Amino acid sequence: MQLPQIINSLLENDMYKFSMGQCIYHQFSAYKTTWTFKCRNTDVVFTTEMVEEIKAQIRAYCSLRFTEEELNYLENVKWIKGSYVDFLRLWQPRYEDFEIGTEADCGLTIETKGSWLNTSMYEIPTLAIVNEVFFRMNYDYDRLYASFRERLADKIQKLVDGTYCLGNFSEFGLRRRLSAEAQELAVQELVAHNKDYKDSACIGTSNVYLAKKWNVTPVGTMAHEWIMCTGQGNHKHNPAYSNWYALDAWVKEYGVLNGIALTDTITTDCFLKDFQLTYSTLFSGVRHDSGDPFAWGEKMIAHYEALGIDPKRKTLLFSDSLDFERADKLRKTFKDRVTVAFGIGTYISNDTCEDPLNIVMKTTACNGMDVAKISDTPGKEMCKNEEYVDYLTRCIQWRLEHDR
């Protein structure tokens, strides 16, 4: 490796990977998935040297094991069970699950194939590695880090002087961070200044390693993969009912704990068909990740009210491409009607003098079958089979028009 090791702990993953991982272990351990990397930037090229460094970093990541201290920390998370921790005591990443090449227009292809238990855990560390390798090897990193520190200080000052009042927010930037040291600095500084903010509080981070190190809450429930695989990974299921299968399995695992549901995997309108009184009562709130957040917030409040549920008892967690200005506007709009919280990623973890990468790694197959996300923002779906996207879209549309 030319660079220092980027991922140094298996806890260096988003919390929702462990939340979903426990459910996968207990209910879907036989499922197999394929994950595919995509760089959405059209002007980005990964050199052969970068690709070799990415391979070396992923090999190093695959050599890691959980320590007993890390496992004890996980077991003390309220909803994590000892049986899953015992599994993690034996678990290790497998480099053999990775296929890394140079065939794409951007110069980098990555696929992971294997058990859902394994491949789900690879997404976030892989993206963090790709991102940090690119920014360290493509730019003057010291210049970027200096601009990052300057912009972070400005963000903190605007929370201190009340320019922005966010209420509770968490840092969600591991997958696209400038570097490990940049993300840690951001979490450390944002939390250290909580006492100085007028009406804001950084209450946690999605990065479990940093949550443990800086004694803040590890934040994260479910991602799109959960709804895609539980709903579309069984050919007997109608994929327009994916949310029902996902919510049902989640409640079986957690009851009323760990209950923030993701709404937009196959559109929020279709989600609401299944998010009726039982699930709306059991889940403590919902997360926004695509589409107009203001329209979504109004839709969710109206949904709760129509069910006779007081929206003030529920949380709307916004997490789509947020900066402090947008979060401030959202809170002003909704704070007197519902509990508002934010998960803020790239704007915190990779705000520099250069544009961030727009990279993703998505589930593209489950149990040998195509899977897809049809979000509230057109064009965000990622699937290898356009015919399947058309089929899924028609299933959703039929249900919206006929399922009363």
Q: Catalogue all structural domains in the chain, each as residue range(s) with its CATH number.
A: 15-139+360-402 (3.20.140.10), 141-349 (3.20.140.10)
**E strands, 102-230, in order:** 109-115, 167-171, 200-205, 217-218
**pTM assigned to the model:** 0.96
Per-residue model confidence (pLDDT) at position 378: 79
What digits encode the pLDDT tens for the residues 248-280? 999 999 999 999 999 999 999 999 999 999 999
Per-residue model confidence (pLDDT) at position 147: 98
What digits encode the pLDDT tens for the residues 277-327? 999 999 999 999 999 999 999 999 999 999 999 999 999 999 999 999 999
Can you tell me the distance from the alpha carbon of 114 to that of 236, in angstroms, rounded to the nearest whole number? 22
What digits encode the pLDDT tens for the residues 359-393? 999 999 999 999 999 989 877 777 889 999 999 99
Cα 37 to Cα 143, 323, 359, 381: the distances in Å are 28, 25, 7, 13
Which residue has tokens 């959980």?
A: 66
What digits encode the pLDDT tens for the residues 155-210? 999 999 999 999 999 999 999 999 999 999 999 999 999 999 999 999 999 999 99
Per-residue model confidence (pLDDT) at position 404: 66
Can you tell me the distance from the alpha carbon of 151 to that of 170, in angstroms, rounded to the nearest whole number? 18
Per-residue model confidence (pLDDT) at position 377: 87
Average pLDDT, the chain: 97
Phi-psi region of 33 (alpha: psi -120 to 50; beta: other; left: phi over 0): beta
- Kind plus residue range of the DSSP H or E element containing 98: strand 98-101
What digits encode the pLDDT tens for the residues 62-102? 999 999 999 999 999 999 999 999 999 999 999 999 999 99
Per-residue model confidence (pLDDT) at position 235: 87
Q: What is the mean pLDDT of residues 233-254?
A: 96
Strand, coil or helix: what is 199?
coil
Amino acid in position 264: D
Can you tell me the distance from the alpha carbon of 67 to that of 86, in angstroms, rounded to the nearest whole number? 12
Q: Which residues pair with 114 in a beta bridge?
A: 33
Q: Is the pLDDT of residue 129 over 90?
A: yes
Per-residue model confidence (pLDDT) at position 65: 98
C-beta atoms surrounding 30 within 10 Å:
10
Q: What is the mean pLDDT of residues 11-38?
A: 98
Q: What is the mean pLDDT of residues 214-230?
A: 97
Can you tell me the distance from the alpha carbon of 250 to that of 5, in angstroms, rounded to the nearest whole number? 35
C-beta atoms surrounding 269 within 10 Å:
14
Please provide residue 39's backbone torsions phi and psi, each rounded to the nearest 5 degrees: -100, 115
Strand, coil or helix: what is 234?
coil
